[in-house]
Amino acid sequence: MTRQYFGTDGIRGRTNSGAMTADVAMRVGQAAGTRFLRGTHKHRVVIGKDTRLSGYMLENAMVAGFTSVGMDVVLLGPMPTPAVALLTRELRADVGVMISASHNPYEDNGIKLFGPDGFKLSDEDELAIEAMLASSQPLAASADIGRARRIDDARGRYIHAVKASLPDNLRLDGLRIAVDCANGAAYQVAPSAFWELGAEIEAVGVEPNGKNINENCGSTHPELVAQRVIETGADIGIALDGDADRLIVVDEKGQTVDGDQIMALIGGQLAARGQLKGGGVVATVMSNLGLERYLGGLGLDLVRAKVGDRYVLEAMKAGGYNVGGEQSGHMILLDHATTGDGTIAALQVLAALVQSGKRASELLHLFDPVPQLLRNVRFSGGKPLDDARVKAAIADAEASLDGKGRLVIRPSGTEPVIRVMAEGDDAGEVEAAVASICDAVEQAAA
């Protein structure tokens, strides 16, 4: 079945158009509710959101959808995506919903769905819900319509769970941490969690107004937290994205540390303690070759999955791994969470900082990335990757990089763009490979 609504991470789009309207949100609520009306117990859904203006509209529409088919609704208000996953399990809910477009601008929004186990829905469930959106769902009898209520202690529950990912005796006293919450879902919980563990907090991106989420802040704009680190003399900077499932770190010198370095640190630390499962780390095809070589030097494997945290998670579960993530900052630590959690990942980094006694610049730059170049080529239609000119350019580039690098070419799952990435020891060869393929794609798309 062709997907009309669900992409690689739920449903996402520009609000009040296409798939992201109040009408579609209500129908998603009805379809997902009907899909999970299993058993004779009273059914329940947990709904969280980030700080986008459109969150109010979509939240109310989904409440109408779920309650109309007989599900009770628990509203969390602005909370990180991993908090929704956690509370879906804790509250014994049948389904969880996060209303967020992650790191996208405020004009976009999205709907992420979790099953009762706190994991994102399987392809089977998403396809079933997709099919159900094409028809009306049976409505509950008048006496069976669901109720909606807000719970007041959601933030406290999540903060408690986050802090529990650290040993009981570990504190962050003496650390000055610059925290950028992207004016998003973690604007209250992340600074509070770090402060409760004893850290001194320098917070930015904690004044959401509905339209400033991810605006020149957060993990996609780490220069803001880097500036705060330098201005305040902080020991480290933590930058989350709009729904706080992504983490980028800045050292005390203001230098950015991406997800590959964070995976190297966490994976290596757990391996040294005998706590790394699966004998390695799961990343994506975009992770730097330097990470693979570093882990190999420790006797650890790097397993590569397709881009998208759901594919990382699938590989982790299939191979019994407990650490996985993406270069962009998604960190999945299955010992502590069922989905990416930027705050929990940040705490593992902060714990290592305290325990090592090193400065962040020493601790977090574990390998030198090999030259890597990514370019996006937009096209208006057709399948450029099937063109003979493009295939020939790819074959030539692969031959030039053979044994000295990697090549990844893939269509975007969310927009008409071909992503061309090459990496290798010779920056000139990398640049030439990317240029030749991009030129061929542009010719094919003309």
The pLDDT score that the predictor gives to residue 403 is 78
Rounded Cα gap, residues 112 and 47, in angstroms: 10
104's CB contacts (< 8 A; 6+ apart) are: 12, 110, 214, 242
* Per-residue b or e along 347-376, where b marks 16 or more CB atoms closer than 10 Å to that residue's CB: bbbbbbbbeeeeebeebbebbebbbbbebe
Q: At what angle do helices 259-272 and 342-356 cross, to 10 degrees?
A: 60
Say how far apart CA 22 and CA 360 lie, in whole Å: 45
What ranges make up the beta strands (E) of 135-291?
148-150, 176-180, 200-204, 236-240, 247-250, 256-257, 280-284
- The conformation of residue 386, written as its DSSP 8-state character, comes to G
Residue 223 to residues 39, 66, 227, 259, 296: CA-CA distances in angstroms?
50, 41, 6, 16, 32
**Torsions phi, psi for 42 (to 5 deg):** -75, 125
pTM of the complete model beyond 0.85:
yes
**In the prediction, which pLDDT does 1 show?**
54
pLDDT of residue 198: 97
The 95-99 sheet, strands edge to edge: 6-7, 10-14, 108-114, 95-99, 44-49, 72-78, 148-150
* Burial of residue 435 (number of CB atoms within 10 Å: 0-12, 13-18, 19+): middle
Measured CA to CA, the distance from residue 394 to residue 387 in angstroms comes to 11
d(CA 179, CA 165) in angstroms, rounded, equals 19
- Rounded Cα–Cα distance for residues 141 and 136 (Å): 15
Number of Cβ atoms within 10 Å of the Cβ of 140: 17
Q: What is the pLDDT of residue 380?
A: 81
Contact 218, 103 (CB under 8 A): yes
Alpha-carbon span 200 to 177, nearest angstrom? 6
- Residue 412: its pLDDT value, please? 79
CA angle 80, 126, 101 (to 5 degrees): 35
Of 296, 327, 284, 346, the closest CA to residue 80 belongs to 346
Please, what are the domains in the chain?
Answer: 6-152 (3.40.120.10), 158-363 (3.40.120.10), 372-445 (3.30.310.50)
Amino acid 2: pLDDT: 66
| Angle of CA points 106, 377, 282, to nearest 5° | 70
CA pair distance 331, 346, nearest whole angstrom: 9
Please state at what angle helix 427-445 crosses helix 388-401, rounded to 10 degrees.
Answer: 170
Tens place of pLDDT per residue across the chain (446 aa)? 567 899 878 999 999 999 999 999 999 999 999 999 988 889 999 999 999 999 999 999 999 999 999 999 999 999 999 999 999 999 999 999 999 999 999 999 999 999 999 999 988 999 999 999 999 999 999 999 999 999 999 999 999 999 999 988 999 999 999 999 999 999 999 999 999 999 999 999 999 999 999 999 999 999 999 999 999 999 999 999 999 999 999 999 999 999 999 999 999 999 999 999 999 999 999 999 999 999 999 999 999 999 888 899 999 999 999 999 999 999 999 999 999 999 999 999 999 999 999 999 999 999 999 999 999 998 887 788 999 999 999 999 999 988 789 999 988 766 788 999 999 999 999 999 999 999 999 988 77
Q: What is the per-residue burial (b if ≥16 Cβ within 10 Å, else e) of 243-253?
A: bbbbbbbbbbe
Positions marked active-site:
102
Q: What's the DSSP call for residue 120?
A: B
